A and B are shown apart, each in its own frame.
Chain A
Amino acid sequence: MRKNLFRLFVALQWLLVAASGSLSLAHAEQVKPYRITMVVYRGCEQACQGFKDYWADHKIPVEIEILDVNNDLKKIPGFIAKVKATKPDLLVTWGTSVSLEMLGTIDEANPSKYVTDIPALFMIASTPVGSGLVRSLASPGRNASGTLYIVPVDTQLNVAKLYMPFKRVGFILNPLENNSQVVLDELRAAQKKYSFELVERVVPLNKAGKPDAASLPSLVRELAAEKVDYLYFAPDTFLLLNRNVITQTAVSLDLPVLATSESVVQEADALFGVVNHYYTVGQLTASKAELILAKHVSPKDIPIVAPPGFSLVVNMRVAAALHHYPPIRVLKVAEIVH
């Protein structure tokens, strides 16, 4: 049953992509390629690749210029100037931080400081409304729209219960990251429904007023000492940058990590993640881009949605290390990475 449901989700996912792909017929007579500028945080990873592949798969001529922040947000003002000068047909931003730096919040969208006159799409932004990128998911309210990638907290907790019952969940909060705070609020609200207790730790700030990465192992140790069953890995850029330290410390303390981003499972040591694949998110974002470029739909009229369904990615190497093997029911629908 669950396997069939999973298959259905995957089928729906591809149907959506295929349906949007049918729009490509409109490009049969297109002569001039669309010009798209992408601003990414750490190279052209899977979401970026999914976005690029979409155009090739649908034989739509595009020219994509990739501007890589390479983990340094100080490069953003230069990229803004370049985008304003080159005036591409569409601007695509990757991640909440890059999106906010390039586009500004909806209440502070100063045209002199941010890109506001070029249609824009963001992807891999955890909480677009909570971070102030848009007014609402149904109606962005500005010249920018985008896609979601985080699976709803309810779904994550349901799957986590299937994997292993839990009573206590640990959470590390980056006080400077709005995404973390939004997810934390959702988890607090879910405590009663899922009968668990949330154990919270806040990352202290260093002298520069930034989150102190050196404190992360001790925070994880504190949570392990609190006997939490899972460490919930929030969709937070700072935490993502420090994913290896956090997850490896957790594994060393026999603490399973539940991830919300696939990179924490695939590239670090989270036990499992209830995620949307970045590649699929990239493809979905490209389908939205096609609406803007080919159908001339304004971004403010494009609702912000996530890909249908989700993937359960299990890191079997970590499962073996922790002796927390996935139950057979979970195994039948899971994607295994080693």
Chain B
Amino acid sequence: MNVQTTQPLRRSVESLLARKSYILFLVCSVCAVALLTWLTLSHFEKILLPQVLSKSNVIASSVRSTVEDAVKLGIPYDSLVGMEDYLADTLEENPEIAYIKVQQDGAREYAKLRASYSLDHPEDVVLQQIEAKDNAPRVVVAVRASYIQEKLQVILGDAFVVSIVAMIAGLEIALFFMVRWLMRPIDTWRAMIRGIERGELERDLHQSEYGPFSELLRLSNAKIAALRESFAQSSVAKQATLAWYQPQARDVRTALFLFVFSEELLRSFFTLYIKEMVDTSSRMSAELAISAPIMAYMLVAGVGTLFGGSLVERLGLRRAFGLSVLISTVSLCGLAVAHSVFELVLWRSVSAFGYAVATIACQVYIARTAFNEQGNMRALSIFVAAVTAACICGAPVGAVIADMLGKPVALLFAALMALMSWLFFRKIVMPAVPATDTLKQGASGISGFGALLKNGNILLSMVCGVLPGKLMMAGMLFYITPLLLQKYELSQASIGQFFILYYVLLALGNALISRLNPGLHAKRRLVVAGALLSGAGGLLMVWFNTPLALAGVILCFGLGQSMLLTPLMTVLLDIVSREMPGVPSSRALSLARAFERVGGILGAVLAALLSASLGYRDATAILGLIVLILGLGTVQLLRSPVKRAVIHA
């Protein structure tokens, strides 16, 4: 009865705060970004167009002077040597030019056209012409009409990326303060009211509260303490050993975000950093040397994930996370001062172990704060959301720091972020260890995994759900996408935008599914659809060979993964709790992480082998086909019985 009366209050206050804050923030951000972009673009177009035309005029003058000088030196105009190479150099140095023609009446014409342009389509270009004079020839420079649009598109893309990163980072900061100042005090006060209603007064404020409600909470707590004292005179005094506030999954979000952010900062420049260290005189090929730290990272992260769960159970959440932060911070500093690929392999392996343990610790924390299937779903979506937000922000921020201050500084910044994550983690209240996990704390990691893998449904979820996603991600997204886009002659900024596309889709999909919170059977359907869609997009490359087709592949993959990731974890935990009640949930999560790493290694290896033999385009299609075929296996999950949802009051 009491619960029924408090539930609507919980929804209304929190929903109001969250919804209004999000909407306000988003509206302000979008308006500001739209205004800024519009102003920039309008000025840009006004400024750029005359500048481009003016530049083309200078280029025409320069070409004419060069030819005039050659003629003055005694080279007959018709005998000029290497004009094609010279004009080709000019075209290469000036991407806005479609073609250049050098003409003299009654003499030969020298011309160089950019591929895909024709002298027969003057509507595609804006012509700048300098007339012939004395020995100097006439020079015609054609500026590509699409150049301005391309530049504008690049700026729009940049504005989009910067806006997304700024909004997500801003939301994470806003979320932290909202949780600390509003939601946590409200939850605490609610717990106090419930305690009074139930006569359970043996609780206290274990930590200072902040924000506008802190005084209210302090007064309420003092009143309850006084009430407890008066009861104590008439009965046996009870110790106030418990805290009013019960930990929530959202509490760990900032620490998780910062930790993953520290790792994702490396994403955009780490391969180049390795490349700089490659010893060209070494017997090992440069490609292998570049892949060595990446492979070592995936391997150690996979192995670390296998034992991470046991380590977390043994050390406890706080110490396990603290240890992983220490490991990551030291290894990131080590990477910053490394001088050889060997050192990079060493430090990257160490950081992989830290990353594996930290993420497992956060997942276990989140799992322990969920009391029912619905809460579990929401909690896991918080994990995915924090990781995705960090992924979206990490790569571009890391790229900017590396560009401006150098890669070692970016690595040191990453170390600082890892260290900061500990500051947030150490302040949060640890959740109680569930009875099932406590019972199994002594069990060995290997036996737990063995038992899990003997279960057909779990094996199916791993091999057909978890593994293909990471296979596609490492192979198609991380390995092939940059190389293929470079082949399409796209800029580095544009390549970055393709990555953002994936993460944004993942975040939006995750948020939507979390919001809709479908039933378990619907989640299984989402898993199947997501698994199939993740690979199906790859088949686009069979018919098309354009950046747009690759964007389609990434779009399908992003949508598929957003449909699959959170529901798959819920389905997995459901199978474990229903079919293997003795196995702790953390073990299943560790196994999933291990399969993710295996998928990552397989993806990188397959992509390298397929690209070498078939090219990037076909490699993408084949990877998609492999993922699609593996995804078909998830259909079997639809046939297994669904656990009846238990409604907890």
> Chain A interface (Cβ within 8 Å of chain B)?
1, 316, 319-320, 323, 325-332, 336, 338
Contact = CB atoms under 8 A, between A and B. Distances in A.
B316 to A, nearest CB: 61
A1 B89 contact: yes
B74 A316 contact: yes
Interface stretch (B76-84, B212-220, B402-410, B467-475): B76-84
Contacts of B81: 325-328
Contacts, number: 44
Contact of A327 (B67, B74, B86, B93): B86
Interface string B53-92: 0000000000000110110011100011111011001000
7 contacts: A325-B70, A325-B75, A325-B80, A326-B81, A327-B85, A328-B80, A331-B70
Interface in B84-117: 85-86, 89, 93
B68 to A, nearest CB: 12
A320 B73 CA distance: 10
Q: Could you say which interface size class chain B belongs to?
A: 10 to 19
Contact of A329 (B67, B69, B75, B86): B86
A200 to B, nearest CB: 29
Contacts of A327: 81-82, 85-86
Contact of A331 (B73, B79, B89, B93): B73
Interface of B: 66-67, 69-70, 73-75, 79-83, 85-86, 89, 93
A329 B69 CA distance: 13
A226 to B, nearest CB: 24
B91 to A, nearest CB: 13
Contacts of B82: 327-330
Contact of A328 (B74, B86, B93): B86
B455 to A, nearest CB: 63
B85 A316 contact: no
Nearest to B63: A328
Nearest to B87: A328
Contact of B85 (A319, A323, A328): A328
Given A325-B79, A326-B81, A329-B82, A320 B89 contact: no
A86 B81 CA distance: 57
Nearest to A162: B82
Given A328-B85, A332-B66, A316 B79 contact: no
Q: Which of B66, B86, B93 has the most CB of A within 10 A?
A: B86
A329 B66 CA distance: 10
A75 B74 CA distance: 45
A316 B74 CA distance: 8
A338 to B, nearest CB: 8
Contacts of A328: 66-67, 70, 80-83, 85-86
A319 B81 CA distance: 12
Nearest to B88: A329
Contacts of A338: 74
Nearest to B79: A325
Contacts of B85: 327-329
A338 B73 CA distance: 9
Q: Which of A320, A325, A326 has the most CB of B within 10 A?
A: A325
